[in-house]
Amino acid sequence: MTPKKSAKRSSPPAREGDRLAEYRGKRDPGRTPEPVPEDAAVPHADKALPRGNDDTFVIQEHHATSLHWDLRLERDGVLVSWAVPKGLPWSPETNHLAVHTEDHPLEYAAFEGEIPRGEYGAGRMTIWDRGTYETEKWSEREVKVVIHGSRVSGRYVLFRTRGKNWMIHRMDPPADPDAEPLPGSLRPMRPQERARLPRDPRAWGFEFAWGGKRMAAYVEGGRTRFTDGRGRDVDGPGGLGSRLGAELGVRPALLDGELAVLDGRETYMVYDVLHLDGHPLLDVPYRERRERLDGLGLSGPRWQTAPWFPGDGGAVLDAAREQGLPGVVAKRLDSPYEPGEESGAWRFIPS
């Protein structure tokens, strides 16, 4: 879950029973902003830190070589830690991998920052959730806890499988009982071609037609898979899937868009969201879906949220002609998403 350890550092000799020896051996206190105590961690007066009651947890979002979430539980003066690639499961129907890592000092419960390139675990670390927990069982092979956080709450069990690999399972019913998993595949809605713009522009939203390859993105647990215009699995451009997944983090989403060439560079232009946070949006009107998509703030080096313009089709068509784009797509503001259909609620008007 983390980059290979850099060159060996000089560190204080390990003391008998020193649970932070491995942690210190992987970090250079002169280079990393992480807390590197010389001795075993002790409780502090800082309210953000554990108080030595074995009841503090923190989940940190770690944008390292591969995005993952670090679950840390205070236990006997240290933070016992697992790297969870897909985050904690929201339903008991799915178990997630949890890789046991070295114990961390209690000070780490308040750590956020950028670990420099070349250092162990290089990348951005932020606190995703924190709170208290209760222990129901703690052994070398099984840990049962009840977590009380602002974003995650419930009974979880971590159980060892082999080596450092554990699994984490939610024992409670789903956090959101109405939540649904992402669909396995969905064929995109298609516009009908028309010669002219709609006569009642105030009832429509207008987007540029980008002339790219239609592609849906299924984002879950920081990972992304893509399907084409026929709903078949396809490979995304190198690096796009993991980086787009990292931007959404643990929020599951199904996006619709196309891979277009802009300024000589392939860019995924996202113009619809069909499923978000466990809830399908196919029956939600286009205007509301676009507002939810805009609220995600998706903008990166290889992806952009495509602009849309309610009620001003003429200006959008003129701009498309000036930029050499194929045309515009008019979409009724009150239209649902019709998978696999060529619908008059969407209209392609060529430049």
pLDDT tens column, 22-44: 999 999 999 999 999 986 544 44
Residue labelled with tokens 């961690």: 41
pLDDT tens column, 242-260: 788 888 888 999 999 999 9
- CB of 5 closer than 8 Å to CB of 101: no
- CA 248-252-255 angle, to 5 degrees, is 80
Rg (CA), the chain: 24
Q: Which of 253, 247, 242 is nearest to 180 (CA)?
A: 253
Phi, psi of 217 (to 5 degrees): -120, 125
The residue ranges of every structural domain in the chain are 21-170, 190-350
pLDDT at residue 7 is higher than 50: no
pLDDT tens column, 141-156: 999 999 999 989 999 9
Q: Which helix (H) or strand (E) holds 21?
A: helix 21-25
Q: What is the pLDDT of residue 242?
A: 77
Q: What is the pLDDT of residue 18?
A: 87
Q: What is the pLDDT of residue 47?
A: 56
The mean pLDDT of the chain is 90
Which bin fits 286, alpha (ψ -120 to 50), beta or left (φ > 0)?
alpha
Tell me the CATH architecture of domain 190-350: 2-Layer Sandwich (3.30)
